């Protein structure tokens, strides 16, 4: 069981304006519930007991909302003075996780499950002896709110590699992963992307992937939010 997680909650949500003019992106509602609560509920459903959440844009609004949660320990990682990007944000909070693995989860990543609980499957597959990171990858053809060319290649053994820019891939990272502190060895200081750490770990063959089951929804724009609402109305998801 993995009992701790980091949620990336500090972004501006510029593409969600005007919704994010007065609230931070994690507070945007999907199916009458803030995005951040969708993520917290899914994490606690698989046994997560402690969640660190970074804050920056309209941080007071998010903090006030999070104080209402009584079912999980929530720790705020304050980035009001300096936004640290994905890698720097996790690095600042790394001391909260000790030597145990932890989830890293985007605040705008939600999905409709099939029979499989994706986070539970990630826990089953994660092997810290051979992995620094396990990424959950969706099929872009069965995803909503994503219009890119794919993110990674995935071998039959589950190893992840970067795809060449001119090579399409069906595999898109959904913003949910499991990491160990080994991923952060020899990492830069200040603001930096998790992509830097993934590249170093991919070179050591320490990054693996698992295929997402269900319909992943990247709620990054107001149009994607509408699509996600329609999808939820037409399904019976576990959110």
* Tens digits of residue pLDDT in 182-223: 999 988 889 999 999 999 999 999 999 999 998 998 888 888
* Rounded Cα gap, residues 232 and 11, in angstroms: 25
Q: What is the mean pLDDT of residues 91-118?
A: 93
| pLDDT for the residue 236 | 56
Q: What's the pLDDT band for 143 if we cut at 50, 70, 90?
A: confident
Question: Highest mean pLDDT: which of 138-152, 156-170, 178-192, 217-231?
Answer: 178-192
- The answer to whether the peptide bond before residue 116 is cis (omega within 30 degrees of 0) is no
Higher pLDDT, 237 or 20: 20
pTM greater than 0.95: no
pLDDT value at 238 more than 70: no
Q: Which domains, ranges and CATH numbers included, belong to the chain?
A: 4-234 (3.90.550.10)
* Tens digits of residue pLDDT in 23-80: 999 999 998 899 999 999 999 999 999 999 999 999 999 999 999 999 999 999 999 9
Phi and psi angles of residue 121, each rounded to the nearest 5 degrees, phi first: -65, -35
Q: CA angle 149-154-160, nearest 5°?
A: 100
Cβ neighbours for 34, distance < 8 A, ≥ 6 positions apart:
26, 27, 28, 65
């Amino acid at each position: 069981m993995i009992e701790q997680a980091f949620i990336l909650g500090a972004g501006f949500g510029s593409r969600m304006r005007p919704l994010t003019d007065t609230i931070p992106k994690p507070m945007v509602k999907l199916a009458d519930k803030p995005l951040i609560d969708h993520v917290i509920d899914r994490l606690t459903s698989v046994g997560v007991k402690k969640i660190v959440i970074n804050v920056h844009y309209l941080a007071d609004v998010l903090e006030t909302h999070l104080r209402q949660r009584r079912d999980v320990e929530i720790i705020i990682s304050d980035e009001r003075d300096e936004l640290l990007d994905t890698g720097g944000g996790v690095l600042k909070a790394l001391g909260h996780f000790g030597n145990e693995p932890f989830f890293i989860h985007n605040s705008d990543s939600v999905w409709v499950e099939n029979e499989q609980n994706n986070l539970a499957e990630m826990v089953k597959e994660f092997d810290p002896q051979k992995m620094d990171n396990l990424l959950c990858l969706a099929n872009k053809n069965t995803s909503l709110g994503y219009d890119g060319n794919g993110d990674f290649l995935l071998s039959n053994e589950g190893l992840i590699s970067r795809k060449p820019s001119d090579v399409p891939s069906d595999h898109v990272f959904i913003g949910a992963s499991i990491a160990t502190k080994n991923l952060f060895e020899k990492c830069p200081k200040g603001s930096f992307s998790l992509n830097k750490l993934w590249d170093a770990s991919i070179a050591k063959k320490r990054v693996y992937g698992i295929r997402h089951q269900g319909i992943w929804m990247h709620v990054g724009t107001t149009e994607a939010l509408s699509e996600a609402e329609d999808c939820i109305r037409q399904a019976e998801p576990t959110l």
